[in-house]
Amino acid sequence: MIDTAPGAAGAIGPAGPVKRADRAPERRCPERRCPERRCIATGEVLPIDGLLRFVVGPEGNLVADLGRELPGRGIWVGGRRELLERAMKKRLFARAAKATVMVAEDLPDQVETAMRRRCLALLGLAKRAGQLTLGYEKVRAALAADRTAIVVTAHDSSLKGRQKLLSGTAGGSAEGASPQRVVVDMFMIDELSLALGRENVVHAALRAGGLADRFVSECHRLADFSGESSSAGMGGPKAFAAR
């Protein structure tokens, strides 16, 4: 798709009244002040932690810069799929760049796939660093010994097995689980197995720390973008706990 600015290019204002449901996800930086940028889809000025950065490549194609590392002037969109789709539909990237921009029609899918890869890559890094425990019994023991460890459980795992894992009891009730336990169940068994280089990875325990913080942050980012439901994303043992 070729994104050409409609009419004269100029300063970008709000695309319309901003409703609560349209707002970009807000992110907070507890120990530092985040730089702020304007979302081209809503006109809101927000911390960059709640935005997605795009740049125009040398060939005029739009590139998602999830790591905020690529050179060039950034174009920022709120971190939800519907906001990216709105910016594409209204040709706001060309207006922001003040030039014709090549925008892939499947860009939202590309972004979500890249987000999933970033999350899984961090799990692989944690495994190589010795901070990830695999294997049902080992994971269960790790969770019983460390109430701050993060649970990674496959989305297509059995509910009974998950409850037993979280409870730490033979009865399988989730009542024994820590209410503050972070549980991530956004990835399928095949995805986890491929990312971790091991067959049939269903459950894992991630030790709290810097890598875990980055993993959880990226997972929240993915959940915001994909619109994961409160019961099928991440949070405590019983419910999603959005930041």
Read off the pTM: 0.80
pLDDT tens, residue by residue, 187-241: 999 999 999 999 999 999 999 999 999 999 999 999 999 987 433 455 544 333 3
Q: E strands of 155-207, at which residues?
A: 183-184, 203-206
Mean pLDDT, rounded, for 35-45: 97
**CA-based nearest residue to 54, from 42, 68, 44, 36:** 68
**Domains of the chain, each with CATH number or no CATH:** 2-105 (3.30.1230.10), 110-235 (3.30.1330.30)
- Phi, psi of 152, rounded to the nearest 5 degrees: -115, 115
CA distance 87 to 95: 10
Residue 181: what pLDDT? Answer: 86
Give residue for tokens 């875990």: 212
pLDDT tens, residue by residue, 94-125: 999 999 999 999 999 999 999 999 999 999 99
pLDDT tens, residue by residue, 141-190: 999 999 899 999 999 999 988 888 888 644 334 444 566 789 999 999 99
